[in-house]
Amino acid sequence: MKVSFNRDVLISAITPAAGIASIKNIASNIEGVLLECPGEIEGTCRVTAYDMEKGMRTSIPCEIEEGGKIVVKTQSLLQIIRALPEGMIDISVDENYRAVISQGKASFEISVMPGENFPQLPLLAGDRNYTMPQHVLRDVVTRTIYAVAVNDQRAVFNGAYFKIENNRLMIIGCDGNRIAISHVQLPGEENPDASVIVPGRLLGEVLRMIRDTEEDMTVTLARKHIIFTIGEYVYFTRLIEGEYIDYNRILPKAHGTEVFVATDLLRGALERATLVTEDKLGGNTKPLIKLEFEGNLLKMSSVSAGGSIYDEIPVAKTGNDLTIGFNCRLLVEALRNVPDGADQLRLCLNTPLMGVTIEEAGGSGTKEYITGAGAADDEFKDVFLDYIMPIRMNK
- Cα(276)–Cα(288) distance, rounded to whole angstroms? 9
Backbone angles phi and psi of 169, in degrees to 5? -105, 125
Backbone angles phi and psi of 154, in degrees to 5? -90, 105
- Cα(118)–Cα(115) distance, rounded to whole angstroms? 6
- Cα(163)–Cα(84) distance, rounded to whole angstroms? 45
- Cα(165)–Cα(307) distance, rounded to whole angstroms? 49
Domains parsed from the chain with CATH numbers: 2-117 (3.10.150.10), 128-247 (3.10.150.10), 251-388 (3.10.150.10)
- Give the other-Cβ count within 10 Å of 286's Cβ: 10
Number of H helices and E strands in the chain, helices first, is 8, 27
What strands, in cross-sheet order, belong to the sheet with 2-6?
A: 63-66, 2-6, 88-93, 98-103, 106-111
- Cα(66)–Cα(52) distance, rounded to whole angstroms? 29
pLDDT tens figures, 119-160: 888 888 888 999 999 999 999 999 999 999 998 899 999 999
pLDDT < 70 regions, the chain: 22-30, 279-286, 363-382, 395
